[in-house]
Amino acid sequence: MSDYCAFLVFFAGNCMSQKTDLSTFNNSWYNPGSSIKRLLWYFINVLFFRSAFPVSSFKVFLLRVFGARIGNGVVIKPHVNIKYPWFLEIDDHSWLGENVWIDNLASVKIGKHVCLSQGAFLLCGNHDYSKSSFDLMVKEIHLQDGVWIGAKAVVCPGVTCSEHAVLAVGSVATKDLEAYSIYQGVPAVKVRDRKIS
């Protein structure tokens, strides 16, 4: 029995001795675009998107210049932060509210008549906490037609919000949301159906 206990102590000690070592982090596999394009976008983003600049149509024009696919009637409020427009698709008549952050390290597809309220956060990147090198992981996000992401709500990597789903204020979607359903909480769970008259 003492040999078994000694083995457990040795095993537990070795498991617990593993530590995160950020000096070994390496995301050289990840190439989101040329350095020049990213640098140009950084300054455009700061000047016209993250600022109080009010003209939505000009912001749509700039996104298209940088490779985003943007539909008609899209509204972009001040203080919006978009990581890489060339990974962004927004269909007709969708709204981005103040302080929306689209951290699209991977593709983000937003359907028609989608509303992202103030401070909503679409997060495509994460880290593998089980690796000492804290590896970068990226996954796409899809918001289908009629979705509403409430103020200060977060959509996590790899999540699809099916048509007309609602993510309530301050909630965190870690899994796909069903169509015509209202989700709330951290992590978000379905609380009721969405009925539209």
Instruction: Look up the CATH number of the domain holding residue 58.
Output: 2.160.10.10
pLDDT band at 14 (very low <50, low <70, confident <90, very high): low
Give CA–CA dist 184/62, Å, rounded: 34
Cross-strand pairs, 125: 138
114 in a structural domain: yes
24 in a structural domain: no
Residue-level length of the chain: 197
> pLDDT tens-digit profile of 37-92?
999 999 999 999 999 999 999 999 999 999 999 999 999 999 999 999 999 999 99
81 in a structural domain: yes
Question: What is the pLDDT at residue 8?
Answer: 46
95 in a structural domain: yes
Q: Is the dihedral of CA 178, 182, 185, 190 positive or negative?
A: negative
Question: What is the pLDDT at residue 98?
Answer: 98
126 in a structural domain: yes
For residue 126, which amino acid is it? Answer: N
Give CA–CA dist 162/147, Å, rounded: 7
5 in a structural domain: no
58 in a structural domain: yes
Give start and end residues of each alpha helix (H) in 31-154.
Answer: 35-44, 56-65
Q: Please compute the mean of the pLDDT values over residues 12-18 and round it to a whole number.
A: 62
Show the tokens assigned to 83: 């990581």
Q: Is the pLDDT at 139 greater than 70, yes or no?
A: yes
170 in a structural domain: yes
Q: Does the predicted model carry a pTM greater than 0.85?
A: yes
Number of structural domains the chain divides into: 1
SS3 content of the chain, % helix, strand, coil (to 5): 25, 25, 50
Range of the domain at 181: 33-193
